[in-house]
Amino acid sequence: MLGKALRARYTPLLVLAALMVLVPLVSTSSFHLRVAALVWIFALAALGLTILMGYAGQVSLGHAGFLGIGAYTVAISPVRLGLDPLLCLVLGAAVAGLVAYAVGRPILRLKGYYLAIATLGFGVIVALVLHSEAEITGGPDGMAVSRLSLFGWRVAGATSWYWVTAGALLVGALLALNIAASPTGRALRALHDSEVAAAGTGIDVASKKLAAFVVAAVYAAVAGGLLAAMNGLITPEAASFSHSIELVAMVIIGGLGSVFGTVVGAAFLVVLPQMLTALQEYEQAVLGLLIMVFMIFLPQGIVPSIRAYLMERLP
C-alpha cells in the first residue's frame, strides 16, 4: 500500500502541499515564514534545473543568470516601461525563455565539461552586465523593486508572500511532474542515458535539449521575479556564480531528477545558512564541507536514497 503510494505520480505533490499547510501551523513567526517562502522560491528555480540536469542530463553552471534576468525584468520594467509588476513577471519569463533559446542553440551542441564552461561563461556575462550597467540596473548596490499586486490585491507581509510563493511552487511542481510523464519527458530521459541511442529511436535530440533548457530558464526567471518582488530590492549577487552553484547543489543534494528531492535540497541550502549565522565565521567552511560530504557519501541525493530504502522494505 505504502509502496504503491511511493510510486504514484502525484505523491510528491500531496506531500509538498501537506508540508505547506503544516509550516504556518507550527510557527507564525514572520521570520520563519519568510525563510520558508525563500525555500519555495529557490525550489522553484532549482526545479528548472531538475528538468534540465535530472531529466535531460545536461549541466548548467550559469543558471543564476536566468534568475537574474527574471529578477531585473521585474525591477526595471515598471520603472522604465510603466508596466504592471505582475505583467513583468510574465515578461521576465518570456525574456529569459528567448535568451535561453538564442543562447541554447549553439551551446547545447557541446557536451559535459564543455557545456559546463559555456553555461558558466553565460552566467558570468549576465552578472557582469547587471553589475556594470549602473544607469539601468543600479550597479553593485542593486535597485528597489515596486510592490507586486495580484488583481488589485497588494502582496505584502510574510504570510501573503508565503502563500503566493507556495502556490507558484505547487504549479511548478505539477508541471514538472507532468513533463516527466509526458512523451517529451521520456525522450529527455532517453537522451540522458545515451544521446546516440535516443537519436537512433527517432528522437530529435537537439530540439528536446533546447526545450529543456528554455523551460529551465523560465522556471528560474519566474523564481527570480518573485524573489525581487518579495525582497523589494535586487542586487547583481542574485545572478552570481556562487548562486548558480547553490542551485546545482540543491538539485544534487536533494536527489537528481526528483521533484520532491529538489524541494528538500532547496530547504537544506536555504535553512542551513540561517542556522549558521550564529557561527558566521564558520559558515562557508561548514557549507563547503557539507556539500563534499553529501556528494561523496550520498551521491544519489537525500530523497531517492530514502525512497530506495523504503521501497525495499514496504510491500
Partner 1 sequence: MSEFLQLVFSGLTVGAIYALIALGFTLIYNASDVINFAQGDFVMIGGMGTVFLMASGLSLPLAALIAVVAAVGVGLLLHRLAIEPARGASPVTLIMITIGASIFIKGVAQIVFDKQFHSLPAFSGDAPIPIGGATLLPQSLWVLGTAIGLVVALYLFLEHTLVGKGLLATAANRLAAKLVGINVTLILAMAFGLSAAIGALAGVVATPITLTRYDIGTLFALKGFAAAMLGGMGNPLGAVVGGLLIGLLETFGAGYVSSTYKDAVAFLMILFVLFFLPRGLFGGRSVERV
| 13 lies in the binding site for partner 1 (CB under 8 A) | no
Report yes or no: 165 and 39 within 8 Å, Cβ to Cβ.
no
CB of 3 to partner 1, least distance (A): 28
Query: Could you say which of 37, 75, 93, 118 contacts partner 1 (CB under 8 A)?
Result: 118
| 193 lies in the binding site for partner 1 (CB under 8 A) | no
Report yes or no: 57 and 191 within 8 Å, Cβ to Cβ.
yes
| 275 lies in the binding site for partner 1 (CB under 8 A) | no
| 210 lies in the binding site for partner 1 (CB under 8 A) | no
| 250 lies in the binding site for partner 1 (CB under 8 A) | no
Q: Which three cell numbers stand for residue 225?
A: 521575479
Strand 143-144 to strand 233-234: parallel, antiparallel, or no bridges (unpaired)?
Answer: antiparallel
Q: How many chain residues are in contact with partner 1, going by CB under 8 A?
A: 47
Window contacting partner 1 (CB under 8 A); options: 71-79, 116-124, 176-184, 223-231: 116-124
Query: Could you say which of 13, 17, 90, 129 contacts partner 1 (CB under 8 A)?
Result: 129
Handedness of CA 228, 231, 232, 234 (dihedral sign): negative
Report yes or no: 32 and 40 within 8 Å, Cβ to Cβ.
no
CB of 247 to partner 1, least distance (A): 11
d(CA 183, CA 14): 23
d(CA 106, CA 125): 16
- Which positions from 138 through 177 interact with partner 1, judged by CB under 8 A? none
- Which positions from 30 through 59 interact with partner 1, judged by CB under 8 A? 53, 59
For the chain, the 3-state helix, strand and coil shares in percent, each to the nearest 5, are 80, 5, 15
d(CA 310, CA 26): 27
CB of 199 to partner 1, least distance (A): 10
| 112 lies in the binding site for partner 1 (CB under 8 A) | yes
Window contacting partner 1 (CB under 8 A); options: 27-35, 77-85, 87-95, 293-301: 293-301
Q: What is the dihedral of CA 89, 91, 96, 102, to 10 degrees?
A: 170
- Binding residues for partner 1 (CB under 8 A): 53, 59, 61, 106-107, 109-110, 112-114, 116-118, 120-122, 124-125, 128-129, 132, 194, 196-197, 241-242, 245, 248-249, 252, 256, 281-292, 295-297, 299
